[in-house]
Chain A
């Protein structure tokens, strides 16, 4: 495995560990180290799925830049997830607008 991939995996693993720690405290459960490792590896591989899909969605719309519309398509299978992502997208858009107005 090339070192840069190892480095990426290590960063994902670290962050997954932090998130799992939060869940563990919140839900009063414990995750084994192996469970955290498995979630990291799934996340790492899921990034590949997402990246390929996003690129295809953008290309399908004759764009070379991935937009939030492409990201929303990743969530199309679940209306719950789609609603959540769409809300976040709006929040980001409006906070970006505010920042622009400040400048």
Chain B
């Protein structure tokens, strides 16, 4: 009961922003007639706009059985938003407005920068050369071949 009370207060606050007039038909989850008219006129993508409807790529696992239902979009009519076509911009933090970058995001940026630095390497890998002297064989499962699965050596 308390919960629905605070929710109502929130939605009331919300509709206050858009003014008194619209408030009484704003009780619904859906758009009011006026809102629908605004959406239809200003934002809704129509065929006559000559632009494709944006869709997000769906997650897919190469190494697992995929359970996610695949909604097949007609490629002609949609524009799949790409998370990789601007990769060369992604080795530095992009500006923020209200939400700071997360640790996850900074990790992503760092790895993009690392990839950028390795891009022109031929053969030998600087990362490998730097890291390999630190390998202790007791930290890893040593696989001699596929039949001998994970034999751990200890010292």
A and B bind: yes
Residues of A within 8 A of B (CB): 3, 6-11, 13-15, 18, 22, 32-34, 36-38, 40-42, 45-46, 48-49, 52, 77-81, 83-84
CA distance A31 to B68 in the complex (A): 28
7 contacts between A and B (CB under 8 A): A32-B125, A41-B111, A41-B127, A42-B111, A48-B103, A78-B59, A80-B67
User: Contact at B135–A34, with CB atoms within 8 Å?
Assistant: no
Residue contact A80 to B64, C-beta cutoff 8 Å: yes
Q: Give Cα A8–Cα B61 distance, bound, in whole angstroms.
A: 27
A34→B122 CA distance, assembly (Å): 9
Q: How far does the alpha carbon of A41 sit from the alpha carbon of B125 in the complex, in Å? A: 13
How far apart are B62's CB and chain A's nearest CB, in angstroms? 9
Is there an interface contact between A45 and B107, defined as CB atoms closer than 8 Å?
A: yes
Instruction: Say what secondary structure dominates the interface of chain A.
Output: helix
Give the residue of A6, A78, A80, A81 whose beta carbon is less than 8 angstroms from that of B134: A6
Which residues of B59-116 have CB atoms within 8 Å of chain A's CB atoms?
59, 61, 64-68, 103-104, 107, 110-111, 114-115
Please determine whether B134 and A3 come into contact, CB atoms closer than 8 angstroms. yes
- B49 located at the interface, meaning its Cβ lies under 8 Å from any Cβ of chain A in the complex: no
Contact of B103 among A37, A52, A84 (CB under 8 A): A52
CB neighbours of A77 from chain B (8 A) = 59
**In the bound complex, do residue B118 and residue A49 qualify as a contact, i.e. CB atoms below 8 Å apart?**
no
Further contacts, 14 of them, CB under 8 A, given A10-B132, A10-B136: A10-B131, A10-B135, A18-B143, A33-B123, A34-B115, A34-B119, A34-B125, A36-B125, A41-B111, A42-B107, A42-B111, A45-B110, A79-B67, A81-B64
